[in-house]
A and B are shown apart, each in its own frame.
Chain A
C-alpha cells in the first residue's frame, strides 16, 4: 500500500533547507532604509554612482536605437533643428539685452539661482522626483523652485541634505499647482498625474483649444507647457485638458534652483 506523505512546507520562503535569498535581500533593503533615515547625505553619496551609471546606460541605449532610424530623415531633421536653434539663440539674446536695458531703468535684475546637476530623474524614479547634486552646503533650501532650460518651472525642492536635494515635480501624483491658461490668463489648477503628465479640469463654458499656453507663477506668469489634448465627455459639465510640459522631464541634466515664493 502506497504511503502518502503530507510534507509541511512554508510557502513564503523559497527554500527551507538552505538560505532563503528573499529574506537575505529583504534584510539588505531594511539596512538601506535605516541608512536612508539615519544618514541621508551618506546614502545619496553611495547611491550616486549607480544613478550615474544608469543615466549613462540609458543615453547609450537611446543612441543605439536611434541608429535604426532612416539616416536621411535624421539628417534632414537635424538641419531643421540647427536653424531653429540659431534663431532661438538670437531671439534669446535680444530679449536678454532688452531686459538688461529695462533693468538699468527700473533697478530690476535678472533672477539668479543655483545651477545644479540632476543625478536621478524619471522614468527610473516612479514618483516624478529629481535628485540634485547640490544641497544645503550650496544654499539650496526646502521651498525653492526648480527651473529647467529657458526658465521653465518644473517643481519645488522638498528635501535637502548637505550635498544633495530632492525636487518634487509638478507632475507628481496629487501635487496641485495654481496657474493660468491662454492669453486671457484664466485661473486654473494644475494636477499632477504622474509620468510627467499634468491635467487641468475646467468648466465646459471656457473656450480652450489644443496648443494654448499654460502658465505658472514664478514670480509673474511663466510658461509651463501647452495643451496637448482635450478630453471632452458630452455628459460632463467639465472638460479635462492634458498639459504637456515644455521641457522633457525624462532628459533633464541640469536645473536652476531659486526662491520663487512657492510651496507644495
Chain B
C-alpha cells in the first residue's frame, strides 16, 4: 500500500529530531521523488532546531534544502512526460 505523501513529509520532519542527520538527509532525498518540498522542509527544520552562532557561516542546510527541492522539481517535471490521457 502506498504511503500518503503527507505522512511521508511528516515522517521526514519528525526524523530531524529522532534520527541522526545523515539518515534524515537520505530519507528527505528519497521522499523528494514524491514531494519536492521535502528537502526544503528538512533543511529549514535542521537550522531551526540546531543552528547556533559560530556553528557555521550561514544556515547551510536551508540553502542545500532549497537547491535540492529545485532539483527535485525539475526531475519530477521531466519524469512525468506522458501527454496522452
Q: A-side interface residues toward B, CB under 8 Å?
A: 2, 4-7, 9, 11-12, 14-15, 19-26, 28-30, 32-33, 36, 47, 50-51, 53-54, 57, 120, 123-129, 156, 158-159, 166-168, 172-175, 264
Contacts and interface: CB of A to CB of B under 8 A. Distances in A.
B38 A168 contact: no
A70 B36 CA distance: 45
Contacts of A2: 84
Contact of A21 (B35, B48, B51, B54): B35
B54 A126 contact: no
Given A50-B17, A50-B18, 12 more contacts: A5-B84, A14-B37, A21-B10, A22-B36, A22-B37, A22-B38, A25-B9, A29-B44, A29-B48, A126-B61, A158-B53, A174-B56
B80 interface: yes
A109 B22 CA distance: 44
B76 A127 contact: no
B77 A11 contact: yes
A9 B80 contact: yes
Interface size class of B (residues with CB under 8 A): 35 or more
Given A53-B18, A54-B18, A123-B20, A11 B36 contact: yes
A194 B46 CA distance: 15
Of A19, A25, A57, most buried by chain B (CB within 10 Å of CB) is: A25
30 contacts: A5-B83, A5-B84, A11-B80, A15-B5, A21-B6, A21-B10, A21-B35, A22-B38, A25-B37, A26-B37, A26-B44, A30-B44, A32-B48, A47-B17, A50-B17, A123-B20, A124-B17, A125-B21, A126-B46, A127-B51, A129-B50, A129-B51, A129-B52, A156-B54, A158-B52, A158-B53, A159-B53, A168-B55, A174-B56, A264-B53
Interface in B47-71: 48-57, 61
Contacts of B40: 26
A47 B18 CA distance: 12
Contacts of A124: 16-21, 50
Nearest to A156: B54
B52 A159 contact: yes
A129 B46 CA distance: 12
Contacts of A120: 49-50
Nearest to A5: B85
B52 A25 contact: no
B64 to A, nearest CB: 10
Contacts of B5: 14-15, 21-22
A85 B57 CA distance: 41
Nearest to B45: A29
Contacts of A126: 21, 46, 50, 61
Contact of A174 (B13, B21, B38, B57): B57
Interface string B1-29: 00011100110010011111110000000
A127 B83 CA distance: 45
